[in-house]
Amino acid sequence: MNELKTIRLKPGKEESLGRRHPWVFSGAIASMDDGIEEGDCVAVVTAGNVTVGVGHYQIGSIAVRMLEFGVASLSEDFFRRRLEEALRLRRTLGLADFHNPERLTDCYRLVHGEGDFLPGLVVDIYGNTAVMQAHSPGMHFARDVIASELTQLSGAHIRNVYYKSETTLPYKAMLDPQNEYLIGNYDGNIATENGLKFNIDWLRGQKTGFFIDQRDNRALLEKFAKGRRFLNLFCYTGGFSVYGMRGGAESVVSVDSSAKAAALTDANIALNFPGDPRHRTEATDAFRFLSEMKKDEYDLIVLDPPAFAKHRNALKRGLLGYRRLNAKAFEKIAPGGILFTFSCSQVVTKEMFRMAVFTAAAQSGRRVRILHQLTQPADHPVDFSHPEGEYLKGLVLYVE
Ligand code: SAH
């Protein structure tokens, strides 16, 4: 293996790396060998020339995403070993049991970036298809190796690998990635989650096609649904709605501002509960729907909006958004109602979100108790060294 080009840190800038935080910020770099290009694997050394490890270089505030610590080069089988580890963890969770025809869930996240020690890479599995997203140029260049390892490791169970990075790679890197199959082709897009069926549209859908990260929270909602009038706001593919139907809700209304999302929800309801009159979909703005609906019309409400604060500088406005949205829900939900409320903004911490919801509750004058505190499921692990990987927060509230 060729020796890697080297990035040298400023004195003292190795501290967070010593705790295995996987990012090198551009401000920590003292010097770089000539000819380092975006996406290259580079060796990182301290000011005193001690090896820190190897990572992918890119232009931007996060300059290196570390792949391996304590080595000066990557072994040939680096991706294989990392993917094997990721697969082993999913097997531990009972998720990647390819040969069990009875299995109730065949969609899950196989690689969760830093949480699987593969910063810049996301892989979601839907039945026989892996949908792969690169968030760094280095992972973009490694895409074919990763795709081929995925099919081999799964014993050819994963037959299709769809690469979907048109919107996830830094635009300035000018890599011009195509969304395309690296291996195989489309062969049916119905995935099973806890025994429920979902059409997954990774070609046109948001992210990799489905919000796998709400699986456990949807299962919890099912337990609260019996006999309730359920309003699912920001429904996207109708995940919560389908669980609510199985849980025995009296009625289910799904709302999304996107007509495409509303159609996806209808399709998923039809797949599981054909002709069931309990469900209807509204393609409209959730804030408007909440403002216009009558009081006490619903006694189970889900609020799962898109990230209101995508960056730190949008934090204040984002928090205000969560407060307003939740305040409207508190104002309208029936006494004895259950509210599932979420934030997937990574920059909004658990504490901030809780404060925003608490403020909304206080404003409404309702007495509110926390029943559950929710987060992302175990196939979205959070590396202790990289707390930024924890992004999904939710509360289940009892509103008197
Ligand atoms: N709850 C979903 C995921 C929600 S993603 C699940 O379990 O899969 C967020 C959704 O909010 C997207 O589908 C988006 O179209 C929708 N959305 C964004 N802004 C909206 C608005 N103002 N009103 C209603 N829906 C909105």
Question: DSSP states of 94-111 as a string?
Answer: T---TT-TT-S--EEEEE
Mutate-to-test residue for ligand 1 from 206, 256, 291, 343, highest number of ligand atoms within 8 A of CB: 256
DSSP 8-state assignment for residue 178? P
Q: Please name which of 92, 86, 304, 104 lies closest in space to residue 191, comparing C-alpha atoms.
A: 104
- Find the 305 Cα to ligand 1 centroid distance in Å: 5
- Find the 234 Cα to ligand 1 centroid distance in Å: 3
Q: Please name which of 399, 391, 334, 343 lies closest in space to residue 371, comparing C-alpha atoms.
A: 399
Q: What is the model's pLDDT at position 156? A: 83
- Find the 72 Cα to ligand 1 centroid distance in Å: 44
State how far the alpha carbon of 327 is from the alpha carbons of 78, 178, 359, in Å.
49, 42, 8
Mutate-to-test residue for ligand 1 from 200, 236, 303, highest number of ligand atoms within 8 A of CB: 236
- Find the 256 Cα to ligand 1 centroid distance in Å: 5
Beta-strand relationship, 5-9 and 29-32 = antiparallel
Give the residues surrounding ligand 1 with Cβ less than 6 Å away. Answer: 211, 214, 234-237, 239-240, 255-258, 261, 285-287, 304-306
Instruction: Give, in degrees to the nearest 5, the angle at Cα 31 between 25 and 37.
Output: 75
State how far the alpha carbon of 184 is from the alpha carbons of 132, 158, 166, 363, in Å.
13, 9, 19, 54
Three-state SS at 11: coil
Residue with CA closest to ligand 1 atom 7: 239
Compute the distance between CA of residue 149 and CA of residue 146 in angstroms, rounded to an integer: 5
- Find the 236 Cα to ligand 1 centroid distance in Å: 5
Both tokens assigned to 268: 């998923």
Compute the distance between CA of residue 307 and CA of residue 263 in angstroms, rounded to an integer: 22
3-state DSSP of 115-126: HHCCCCEEEEEE
- What predicted TM-score, i.e. pTM, was given to this entire model? 0.94
Residue 363: which H helix or E strand, with range? helix 350-364
- Find the 74 Cα to ligand 1 centroid distance in Å: 41
Compute the distance between CA of residue 77 and CA of residue 79 in angstroms, rounded to an integer: 6
Number of other CB atoms surrounding residue 123 within 10 Å = 24
Which atom belonging to ligand 1 lies closest to the Cα atom of 214? 7
Distance of CA 338 to the CA centre of its chain: 24
Number of other CB atoms surrounding residue 276 within 10 Å = 11
**Tens-binned pLDDT, residue by residue, of the chain (400 aa):** 568 999 999 999 999 999 999 999 999 999 999 999 999 999 999 999 999 999 999 999 999 999 999 999 999 999 999 999 999 999 999 998 877 777 899 999 999 999 999 999 999 999 999 999 999 999 999 999 999 999 999 988 899 999 999 889 987 778 888 899 999 987 678 999 999 999 998 888 888 889 999 999 999 999 999 999 999 999 999 999 999 999 999 999 999 999 999 999 999 999 999 999 999 999 999 999 999 999 999 999 999 999 998 888 899 999 999 999 999 999 999 999 999 999 999 999 999 999 999 999 999 999 999 999 999 999 999 999 999 999 999 999 999 9
Residue 73: which H helix or E strand, with range? none
Compute the distance between CA of residue 392 and CA of residue 109 in angstroms, rounded to an integer: 14
